[in-house]
Chain A
Amino acid sequence: MRLFISLLLAGHLSLASASTPTNVVLPPMRFATTLKHETLIDEIKAYPAFANIDNKNLGAPILLRVTHTWRATAGGDAAGVASGLLAGSSLGILPVVTNRDMVITYEILVHGTQIAAFEFVENFTSTVSIYSEQARTGALSESEKAWLADTLRQFDAQVQHHEGVRELLGEYQYYFGS
């Protein structure tokens, strides 16, 4: 025990993990998304790992792509159609009620080849008037936006430890420097 403490004090040992990785910062890259969420790119750029994203980087070999899709749930589709018919027959007085899973996928691609992908799924029940801005434009609801922000936080955390991303950074450093 005394030897352990001596070595620790002498700086020959560290309590921190010997393999703690340095923070990942991705090089300049393009960005594409299927989401109708105007501030998404700014929210992503707020994370240091993605600070180099720029929609003007048309020639960048690396692309961050954020896509979304909706998956039907058991009974959700039938209920949604019935709700849609009721909304129509009430001339829009009754809202459309849907229950479905939202799937957000964050992909990092290099020249079209996927290096890393992270998928997040959450169930949402929404009540929307057919005349609303949301119904018309497909914009996210407040609860969907809040969940999206949480997935972004998780994506950033997972990217830090992804082996493929670290290999990409190592290769980028070799060819193009810091």
Chain B
Amino acid sequence: MKGLGLLLSVLFVALAVSGCTANRMTTQTLPKGVVLNKNVKIPNDTFIAIYIPADISNGRFYLEQAGFFVEPGRAMKDAVSAVMKTYFTEHAYFDRDSEQLYGLLLDLQPTWSFQYGQVEMTMQYVVRGEAGVELLKGEKKFKTSIGSLRDGNGFYNAALRSTQMLVIDVLNRLKPTSQVYAQVLRMKDVSPETLVDKEKPVRTGSAFFINATGQMLTAAHVLKDCAWAEVKQGTEQHSIRIQASSTLLDLTLGTIDKPSPDFLPLRNAGKVELGENVSMIGFPLQGVLAASSNLTRGNISSMQGLQGDVGTLQFSAPIQPGASGGPLVSDQGELIGVTLSSLHLANLGEKGILPQNVNFALQPIYVKKFLDKNAVVYSEYVEPKKGPTPTFQNAIPAVVQVACYQ
């Protein structure tokens, strides 16, 4: 009986595994109810440019229990490419710096949802022609079994069918040809602002002006892979032009190309004292907290970050998501750090440790080196000989919210 139990267990596992796998669908068949008009010839000779948000196409996460990466982004991109190759003679993915010419631009905003072992892709799309004019828009969905996460076929199939449906829609309704939509539009001429979802930023953070010309600093991870980025200053919004970035320091320099009367001076000689009072100014938890700036107080807890860290100091002023990139200022309003991160609590919580207010900022000497390397004009704090001494509150107007769109 014990042997029979073992046999049944092994058979069950084998069947379960084979039943869980989903084979990759092909473009040879269409979803039920979807028909390509008879007078539409494929492959179509219009050159298609395709925009997909970077966070979606690069989507990838590690499943620790199973020991492998799950890559829905790669599966989706493979599926989109497979559909494009079937229905169009040529296509290319959008690159804002590219001189590549195209005839029509397909702006995709895909989202995944999951329910009871199934994955659904919702593909919102806009087809744009000359000058970004909207020619067609719509939404297609397809739900299928998620299958084995290892091979990603569930993600592939959901993306394949939803892309097929939208392409059929484009071909049936627009009836494009290379004569009507000639390959004369240049990717570089497209304003990324027309491509992104302005309703929903993928990321928000904080930034601060470093001089009167409108140049500002923020954390590099806030503006990573943004197709479009904006600063919110009161009721106004200004686009950000990235000028320099350091992945190593996690620091980015941008400009709004507009004068800014309020900016932060750096600490003279750059030295920070252990125990010194600090204020963290930023715009955390956008959509939850008030839209105005947020200020928390604390002190410098350590002149070093975690073991192996270079360039950061530790401070105790509380921060929340969205505070990244905001300045750490002294009681006189000098810049003494750039807020970067907080200690990740999950792993420590498992060990029974619950640290509080363990936050990290880039030290001012490295901010200075970055500014010098990129020939940026900045000022250093000088105590006024007459009149009142500035306070940390003087720094508030120099701090702005940034939003990243894809």
Contacts and interface: CB of A to CB of B under 8 A. Distances in A.
Interface of A: 27-30, 34, 36, 54, 56-61, 67, 69-70, 72, 77, 81, 84-85, 87-89, 91-92, 110-113, 115, 130, 138, 168, 171-172, 174-176
A53 to B, nearest CB: 10
A99 B185 CA distance: 48
A29 B240 CA distance: 33
A88 B18 CA distance: 14
Contact of B10 (A57, A61, A67, A88): A88
B331 to A, nearest CB: 27
Interface residues of B, number: 36
20 contacts: A27-B310, A28-B308, A34-B68, A56-B307, A59-B309, A60-B310, A61-B250, A67-B69, A69-B68, A69-B150, A70-B150, A72-B151, A84-B14, A111-B247, A111-B248, A113-B224, A113-B247, A138-B67, A174-B373, A175-B310
Contacts of A92: 6, 10
B7 interface: yes
Nearest to A168: B248
Interface string B205-228: 000000000000000110010000
B369 interface: yes
B366 interface: yes
Contacts of A172: 248
B249 interface: yes
B249 A91 contact: no
Interface in B41-86: 62, 67-69
B270 to A, nearest CB: 13
A59 B307 contact: yes
**What does DSSP make chain A's interface, helix, strand, loop or mixed?**
mixed
Interface string B246-282: 1111100000000000000000000000000000000
Given A111-B221, A113-B224, A29 B308 contact: yes
Interface of B: 3, 6-7, 10-11, 13-14, 17-18, 21, 62, 67-69, 150-151, 220-221, 224, 246-250, 305-312, 366, 369-370, 373
B205 to A, nearest CB: 14
Contacts of B309: 58-61
A106 to B, nearest CB: 14
A36 B18 CA distance: 25
Given A89-B11, A111-B221, A176 B311 contact: yes
Given A58-B308, A59-B306, A171 B246 contact: yes
